[in-house]
Structure 1
Amino acid sequence: MMMEKERTRGVATKAVIIGNPNSGSAGDEGYLERFAEALRTGGIEVEVLNTERPDHATELAALAGDKLVIAAGGDGTVNEVVNGLSGGATLGILPLGTANVLARELGLPMNPEEACARILTGTAFRMDVGVATDEEGTERRFACMAGVGFDADVVREVGPRLKRYLRSLAFPLAALKVYLQGDQPDLQIVDGDTTYVTQFAVVANGRYYGGEFEMAEGVSLGSGELEVVLIEKVGLLMRPDVLARILAKSPLDRAMKSFTSRKNIVAKSPAARGARVPVQIDGEVWGRLPMSFRIEPAALNVIR
């Protein structure tokens, strides 16, 4: 378990804050400098870097080297930072987004001022990360989850503008729209010699999904394995009871099929329709099937 892993107290003396100015609860102009000043008061030399385009946070994190790299934004910003970190870097999080899934998984305060204090006083430990690989061999890390099928369609439907204006209402409304469209293609999830057929799958590195919604229960950020949750369909539509729980942000019925694995998990769909099945990584659409997923144990140093 995560808490049983070796942890070391102490924070680097140099840090960068990488911030998304368009994040859900970013605040007014100059907000990142105020957080930086709080960290400077705690003895850290801090540089603030604003993102200007998609994947810019990944580039900035890669240039930071082995410093403390603080992702200030939502789950998309955190994911971009995670994909640029060097092996010797440490991740800190200022949760400024809508869902803040990794921050919740880590037990961090949702208030950014309190999160600054946690960066100064918290402990660092090595967490697992998931890795998705597409058909061309391109890889992308994920901190919390990858969603295949339905929820990736929902994420694509929402878009950054709708999320910014409707905030927490954006995803339930988009989910209802995608659900009523129906006709989601079957998926094949392959774990070693076993193949599962489903309509919507979540490959989870932790418990939470979309905020405080508990999707998985068999894994943690330090368990060394992934949990795959399979949501089946009724007729042409996904199970309506599952949709109701998603809209209400209630824990899913554990009678649903799920399994944990340390193997390479493959997701695919029938050739004629698989080309249109998207995949979301930590809340952002990234590629289409076929795709594989694996776990990298203790791959990332993070402040908790």
Structure 2
Amino acid sequence: MSPPRRVLAIVNPAAGQDQAEDILATIRRRLEESGLDFELRETEGEGDARRWAAETDRELVLVAGGDGTVMEALSGIIENEREIPLAQIPTGTANLLARALGVPTDVDDALELALRSGVAVPMDVGHLVDHDRYFALMAGSGWDADLIKAADRDLKDKLGFFAYVITGVKSLFSLKRSRIRLTVDDRRLRFRAHTVIAINVGEIQGSGIALGSNLSPHDGKLDLAIVSPNSIGGILKVLWRLLTRRYEGATELRYFSAEKIKVEADPPLNLEIDGEPIGKTPFEAHVIPGGAMLVVPREYAENKDILP
């Protein structure tokens, strides 16, 4: 992509564990050294990033924060009449979207990618209809939402990503299946499960772990994973399947692919989108094919065969 000349930089000073002043100073210095016409804004509350991104006429939106701040800004860009790429400076706790797209977590390296070496590519986005919220990674109900809800800010500030690991293990011992009513495009199904996840991005680059086979945020579809065992032994079998990439042929782990998904559960399950608790089921999700432009490493675009 050609280097942007006019940049909106959005910084969440509360994200992650690093010093906000140092991050701000680094971003400001790099933008000044690049001779860019830029506006640097700090979020003060929910909705700031979305509103600013929706209203901007800049050529690039640069976001320093965690997954929540990035998705706020991405939601604003989707609502913007202009096609504006988003570049990430990952400063949150998990930074799952950045890791999934191969964006470096070092601030200087991420700035180099955003302003010089990266390419802007289209990416599918999910839309949570009832909440009017967009997601890049997933909308999940059940175990993943339980652990995210349990990992409060104090724990994340102290332990970082390990806060999710600890709460995730604890949540395994309280899993209970619900009666699920599922609509996949025009197909209707019923079954019992404790976790139902609408997936857009199913693999974190370099982790060696994928939530399913051939899950891509560039295929115009959402993938649905249903996890049903409620015993520790059954959960361990599912985890083993994910680690060894043996996804098919198991009743405790099932997959569907669709453009539209609706999930109802009795009793209701906790719900999250891209690592943020958002209430409980039911939820309805639609895919927006190529709904946003994100700056990624050239190697990522080459591997996915999506070079502009």
- TM-score computed with the length of structure 1 as normaliser: 0.85
Which residue is equivalent to 1:258?
Answer: 255
Partners in 1 of 2:29 and 2:37 — Cα distance?
9
Structure 1 residues 48 and 238 mapped into 2: Cα distance closer, same or farther (>3 Å)?
Answer: farther
Q: 1:145, CA displacement in angstroms? A: 1.0
- 2:215 pairs, out of 209, 213, 219, with 219
- 2:49 pairs, out of 38, 46, 57, with 57
Q: 1:60, CA displacement in angstroms? A: 2.5
Which residue is equivalent to 2:76?
Answer: 84
Structure 1 residues 224 and 43 mapped into 2: Cα distance closer, same or farther (>3 Å)?
Answer: farther
Structure 1 residues 210 and 169 mapped into 2: Cα distance closer, same or farther (>3 Å)?
Answer: farther
| Percent of aligned positions that are identical | 26
Partners in 1 of 2:180 and 2:132 — Cα distance?
21
Partners in 2 of 1:154 and 1:209 — Cα distance?
18
Q: Contact 1:155–1:171 (CA<8 Å) still a contact in 2?
A: yes
Q: Deviations over 1:190-224 (max 9, x none)?
A: 21224152220221111236994421332222111
Structure 1 residues 252 and 56 mapped into 2: Cα distance closer, same or farther (>3 Å)?
Answer: farther
- 2:187 pairs, out of 186, 193, 208, with 193
- 2:64 pairs, out of 57, 60, 72, with 72
* Helix, strand or coil at the partner of 1:295: strand
Which residue is equivalent to 2:306?
Answer: none
Equivalent residue letter for 1:93:
Q
Q: Contact 2:17–2:157 (CA<8 Å) still a contact in 1?
A: no
- 2:146 pairs, out of 137, 153, 164, with 153
Q: 1:125, CA displacement in angstroms? A: 1.7
Partners in 1 of 2:132 and 2:68 — Cα distance?
16
Q: Contact 2:6–2:58 (CA<8 Å) still a contact in 1?
A: no
Structure 1 residues 40 and 242 mapped into 2: Cα distance closer, same or farther (>3 Å)?
Answer: farther
Q: Contact 1:218–1:260 (CA<8 Å) still a contact in 2?
A: no
- 1:39 pairs, out of 31, 45, 51, with 31
* Helix, strand or coil at the partner of 1:170: helix
Q: 1:139, CA displacement in angstroms? A: 1.2
Where in structure 2 are the equivalents of 1:240-255 lying within 5 Å?
240-241=235-236, 250=243, 253-255=246-248
Partners in 1 of 2:165 and 2:205 — Cα distance?
11
Structure 1 residues 245 and 211 mapped into 2: Cα distance closer, same or farther (>3 Å)?
Answer: farther
Structure 1 residues 32 and 254 mapped into 2: Cα distance closer, same or farther (>3 Å)?
Answer: same
Instruction: Tell me whether 1:127 sits opposite 2:123 in the alignment.
Output: yes
Q: 1:105, CA displacement in angstroms? A: 2.1
Q: Contact 2:61–2:86 (CA<8 Å) still a contact in 1?
A: yes
- 2:3 pairs, out of 11, 16, 30, with 11
Which residue is equivalent to 1:6?
Answer: none
Which residue is equivalent to 1:232?
Answer: 228
Q: CA RMSD in A?
A: 2.5
- TM-score computed with the length of structure 2 as normaliser: 0.84
Q: 1:251, CA displacement in angstroms? A: 6.2
Q: Contact 2:177–2:228 (CA<8 Å) still a contact in 1?
A: no
Equivalent residue letter for 1:165:
K
- Stretches of structure 2 that go unaligned for 5 or more consecutive residues are 297-308
Q: Contact 2:129–2:284 (CA<8 Å) still a contact in 1?
A: yes
- 2:199 pairs, out of 201, 204, 213, with 204
* Helix, strand or coil at the partner of 1:84: helix
Matched positions, count: 285
Q: Deviations over 1:108-143 (max 9, x none)?
A: 122121110111221112211111122xxx311001
Partners in 1 of 2:53 and 2:254 — Cα distance?
38
Structure 1 residues 28 and 55 mapped into 2: Cα distance closer, same or farther (>3 Å)?
Answer: closer
Which residue is equivalent to 1:302?
Answer: 294
